[in-house]
Amino acid sequence: MFGGEMMIINYNPHSDTEEPGPERDQNLNPGRRSSWVNVVWKHSQHHQEHYTTPKDTSILQSAQDWKLEVDLDKLVFPPEIVATTLRPDMVLWSPTTKLAYVVELTVPWEDGVEEAYERKKNKYSHLAAEASQNGWKTNIFPVEVGCRGFVATSTTGLLRKIGVKGRSLQQAIKSMSIAAEKKQ
C-alpha cells in the first residue's frame, strides 16, 4: 500500500483452532473456537501487527473461494470478470458468488480527499457496469489516506466491511497514518 508496507488478509471459514494472533477480541469467549479473519499490516521485515476479528462481521463470509490480486507491479484485472486495461490497486473476487470488490488507494492532500474519492469512483464505474452485464456484482472502494496522515472515512469503512473493528481498527488506522506521514 505504501512502498514496502503491505496488508495480508487470511480468511478461514472452518477453523477448528482458536483465533490466531497475539491478542483476542474481548467480546470472544476464551475457549470459543470459531472462524476468523486475520489481518496483518506489515510495516517492514521486522515489524508486523495482527488484528483478528470474528468472521460474522465481515463481507468475506459470503464466500469461501476469495481470490486477491494486488498491483505491486503489473496487475492484470481478472478476465473472468471483465476485460479491461484498468489497473486498480486491489481486486478481491469470488467466482462462485460472482462478487467483486475493487479497491483503489489514493494519497491526496487532506483538502482533496473528497475530490479524490469521486474521481476514483467515476474512473471505475464503467468497469462495474460492464461486469454487471457479465453477471458480476462489483463494488468500487476508493480509499484515501492523506499525505499528512489523515485516514478518510472511506478507508475505515472498508476495514469495517472486511471485519476489522474496535481496538484492531484503531491500531490499523494509526499504522496507516504513521506510514503515510513517513512517505512525505
Q: What is the pLDDT of residue 184?
A: 60
Q: Distance between CA atoms of 119 and 145, rounded to whole angstroms? A: 15
How do residues 88-112 score in pLDDT, each as one tens digit?
A: 999 999 999 999 999 998 887 888 8
- Whether 172 has a pLDDT exceeding 60, the answer reads yes
| Strands of the 137-144 sheet, one edge to the other | 67-70, 90-94, 99-106, 137-144
- Whether 127 has a pLDDT exceeding 50, the answer reads yes
Q: What is the pLDDT of residue 15?
A: 42
- Is residue 178 within 8 A of residue 152, CB to CB? The reply is no
- Whether 3 has a pLDDT exceeding 90, the answer reads no
Q: Distance between CA atoms of 83 and 6, rounded to whole angstroms? A: 26
Average pLDDT over residues 170-177: 92
- Whether 62 has a pLDDT exceeding 80, the answer reads yes
Give 104's DSSP letter.
E
How do residues 28-61 score in pLDDT, each as one tens digit?
A: 334 433 344 444 444 344 444 444 445 456 888 8
Average pLDDT, the chain: 75
Residue 145 main-chain phi, psi, to 5 deg? -130, 115
